[in-house]
Amino acid sequence: MKVEIWSDVVCPWCYIGKRRFETALAQFERADEVEVVWRSFELDPDSPRTQADSSLEHLARKYGMSVDQARASQNHVTELAAAEGLEYRLADVRRGNSFDAHRLLHLARERGKQDELKERLLRAYFSEGEPIGEPEALGRLAVEVGLDRMEVAEMLAGDRFAREVRDDEHSARLLGIRGVPFFVLDERYGIEGAQPAESILQALRTAGSPASVR
C-alpha cells in the first residue's frame, strides 16, 4: 500500500498529523507493506526566503485576529502537539519560504532518507527555531540525517527537483486539496487534516482489506 502525504514543513498541524499517522501505522497489521511518500505543498509560496515578523503577528494578520486571539490559538495547538509528544516553541519560530526544503525532501526520497529528513525539518522548525528558508540551515540538517554534503550544496545552489515540487502541487490541485496534511491511500482513499490516530488506523484497514481492491 502506498500512502502519499501532502504537507508543509511550516505547518503545525502537519507535524501533529505525522505523529498521529505514525501511531496508527504502528497498530496496523500490514504496516510492513506500507510505503510512505511525502508530497510537496506550500502554504505560503510567495513568502520570502526569510521573514522578520513573528509567527504570532503573521497568524493574527492572516486570519484577521487580535494578538490575544492568535496567542490563544497558538497555545491550543501547542497543547495538542504536546499530547502527541511534540514540543512546540512557536515564539521561537523563524518563518521563511519552504520551497527549497521541499526540493531537498525529493532528493532525500531518492536516497532513502525522506522520512528522516521530514522529521528533522519539522523538529528544527517547530522546536529549535531553525531558519527553514536558509540554505545553510537546510544543508546542515540534511547532512545530519545522512545526505551527502556536496550533493546537497549543489542541489540547493541550482534548481534540481523544482519541477517535482511543482508536479506535487499540481497533483494537489487536481485532487482538490486545499489544506494539509492530506493523506491519499493507494490513490483511492483520502484523509483530510490531522485526524485522530484511531480514524487513520480505520482508513488504513479499509484501504488494505481485500474487498477494497475489487
CB of 57 closer than 8 Å to CB of 69: no
CATH classification of the domain holding 62: 3.40.30.10
- Please give the Cα distance from 190 to 170 (Å, whole number): 17
- Please give the Cα distance from 187 to 3 (Å, whole number): 8
Give the per-residue pLDDT at 62.
83
- Give the DSSP H or E segment for 6: strand 2-7
End-to-end alpha-carbon separation of the chain, Å?
15
Domain total of the chain: 1
What is the domain extent for residue 93? 2-213
Identify any residues that bridge with 2 across adjacent strands, giving them in sequence order: 35
Identify any residues that bridge with 183 across adjacent strands, giving them in sequence order: 5, 191
Per-10-residue mean pLDDT, the chain, length 214: 98 98 98 98 91 82 89 96 98 94 98 98 98 96 98 98 98 97 96 98 91 54
pTM of the model: 0.94
Identify residue 3 by its one-letter amino acid code: V
For β-strands 182-185 and 189-192, DSSP reports them as antiparallel
Residue 156: count of CB within 10 angstroms of its CB: 20
- Please give the Cα distance from 166 to 45 (Å, whole number): 11
Please give the grid coordinates belonging to residue 64: 484577521
Give the per-residue pLDDT at 214.
46
Please give the grid coordinates belonging to residue 90: 512557536
